[in-house]
Amino acid sequence: MALIIGDKIPNFIAKDTFGNDFISANYIGIKPLVFYFYPKDNTPGCTAQACSFRDKYEDFKDFGAEVIGISGDSIASHQNFTSQYKLPFVLLSDSDKKLRTLFGVPASFLGLLPGRVTYVADKEGIITMIFDSVMATKHITKALEAIKKAAKS
């Protein structure tokens, strides 16, 4: 069952860029969160998306938000991707697709590729926006608008 607007981000543990445990419960209730699922490190669309989040990262931080990227790539791949593009945010490895399943991220291109979906949650962990689009760089604008809106309320 896919998460929808109004649902709470579920508790989960996943390995981050450096092989450490990322525990969602340590963030929920503390700050707004942007979880963006993307297909694969070092592909044109995913690189453009990650670099766009990187370039706007300080804007997200200004609103107290944290950005977290998630794909099925290995920790080693995430380390290389983060280093090559100087990504200031956490990437989570979802090689077993448990997080995609937990969030209900649909596949794209007739089920051939992992989907590209961004979830924005307020400080309490309640999902306020879901953006599902293959247009990689559109996710950043939509997520930032949702974070700004949440900060005003």
In angstroms, the Cα distances linking 101 to 97, 104, 106, 109 are 6, 5, 9, 18
46 is an active site residue: yes
Pairing of strands 33-37, 21-23: unpaired
Determine which one of 14, 46, 67, 105 is catalytic: 46
| Nearest C-alpha neighbor of 35 from the set 153, 143, 134, 114 | 143
SS3 57: helix
Q: Give 118: exposed, middle or buried? Use CB within 10 Å, 0-12, 13-18, 19+.
A: buried
What residues are annotated to the active site?
46
